[in-house]
Amino acid sequence: MYSCTQCDKRFLSLSGLRKHMNVHRGKYKCTECGKYCHGSQHLATHRRSHSGEKPFECFLCSKRFTLAGNLLRHSRIHSVEKLYKCHVCDKTFNESGHLNRHMRVHTGDKPYKCSLCDKCFKQSCALQQHKRRIHSNRRPYLCPYCGKLFKINSELKCHVHIHTDAKPYSCRHCSDCFTRLAQLKRHLLKSHNEGTWFTCDICQQQFITRGELKQHSLRRHEDVKPYVCSECPKRFCTASESRRHRLVHSDVTQTLKHYSCGLCNKSFKYPQNFVKHFKKCADNVGFYNVV
């Protein structure tokens, strides 16, 4: 592995490392997130990630992309032929890079190590997201509807669905549509038996994602709860659960509930809980029929 001296990225070839070093030699800086680009065209392309512009459209499924390369990789999904096959589980892939990442599922290899907390990851993008979520306070991604700021773009994309009620992920087998990709994957597995279940070795319970299986093992079989609340003795399996729990001890969140239902006057702290409640409440009172 060839390691970058400027960041924690690692590469299998020297040529890959040399190509990556151009990122650090860039002269054009993005005013939104501080990233440097090595050309004005590269900077203009990068800015699309902030503006949401997606000029490249797939003519088969109408999905749009920011980069032409992303459209090219996506088009291979519609191809029947998959050239790269895993010799362990016979799963096939359209690209060699996808196969290489998949092999880490069997080997357990985590080559990307965080220089700040020594946590290791299987993919470089997971390491970068970890750094932005845990070790950085910068929030360069702005919601155009409510002004809320986010550390990573994927969090903003999920949040925007609260305002638009959009369902961009559609099932290719039926007419169902979903707000999040994870919901679509769950639907494909349960309704159409498409995809791979993650099975617990101890109790044989099946899960949609590897993360759900990991949390199940921590709760049910290992009883590991490393995150302790600083205000009370309560313990948690994940950092996100611990952060949500801390709101209980906050005077602000105990007294203020910003989201109120206009049909029953019930209030909520979190927008996602409000949206779920309003849909159910509107159906019960026949709100949509009246409108």
Residues 139-170 have pLDDT tens digits of 877 887 787 888 888 788 778 877 877 787 88
CA–CA distance, 92 with 81 (Å, rounded to integer): 9
Would residue 243 count as lying in a domain? Answer: no
Last residue of a domain, one of 55, 79, 103: 79
Last residue of a domain, one of 79, 109, 135: 79
CA–CA distance, 237 with 194 (Å, rounded to integer): 30
Q: How many residues does the chain have?
A: 291
Amino acid found at 28: Y
With a cut of 70, which residues of the chain have pLDDT below it?
1, 22-27, 38, 79-82, 250-260, 262-263, 269-271, 285-291
* pLDDT tens for each residue of 41-59: 778 888 877 777 788 888 8
Would residue 142 count as lying in a domain? Answer: no
Task: Provide the residue range defining the domain that includes 30.
Answer: 1-79
Last residue of a domain, one of 60, 79, 98: 79
* pLDDT (0 to 100) of residue 252: 45
Report the percentage of the chain scoring pLDDT > 90: 0
CB–CB of 192/173 below 8 Å? yes
Residue with tokens 């498409």: 194
- The torsion region of residue 249 among left (phi > 0), alpha (psi -120 to 50) and beta comes to alpha
Would residue 20 count as lying in a domain? Answer: yes
- The three state secondary structure string of the chain is CEECCCCCCEECCHHHHHHHHCCCCCCEECCCCCCEECCHHHHHHHHHHHHCCCCEECCCCCCEECCHHHHHHHHHHHCCCCCEECCCCCCEECCHHHHHHHHHHHHCCCCEECCCCCCEECCHHHHHHHHHHHHCCCCCEECCCCCCEECCHHHHHHHHHHHHCCCCEECCCCCCEECCHHHHHHHHHHHHCCCCCEECCCCCCEECCHHHHHHHHHHHHHCCCCEECCCCCCEECCHHHHHHHHHHHCHHHHHCCCEECCCCCCEECCHHHHHHHHHHHHHHHCHHHHC
Would residue 284 count as lying in a domain? Answer: yes
* pLDDT (0 to 100) of residue 244: 75
Would residue 116 count as lying in a domain? Answer: no
189 exposure class (CB count in 10 Å sphere: 0-12, 13-18, 19+): middle
Would residue 59 count as lying in a domain? Answer: yes
Would residue 4 count as lying in a domain? Answer: yes
By DSSP bridging, strand 64-65 and strand 84-85 are unpaired
Would residue 118 count as lying in a domain? Answer: no
* pLDDT (0 to 100) of residue 253: 44
Residue with tokens 């509807």: 145
CB–CB of 28/45 below 8 Å? no
pTM above 0.85, yes or no: no
* pLDDT (0 to 100) of residue 132: 79
* pLDDT (0 to 100) of residue 256: 45
* pLDDT (0 to 100) of residue 213: 85
CA–CA distance, 131 with 134 (Å, rounded to integer): 5
Question: How many structural domains does the chain have?
Answer: 2
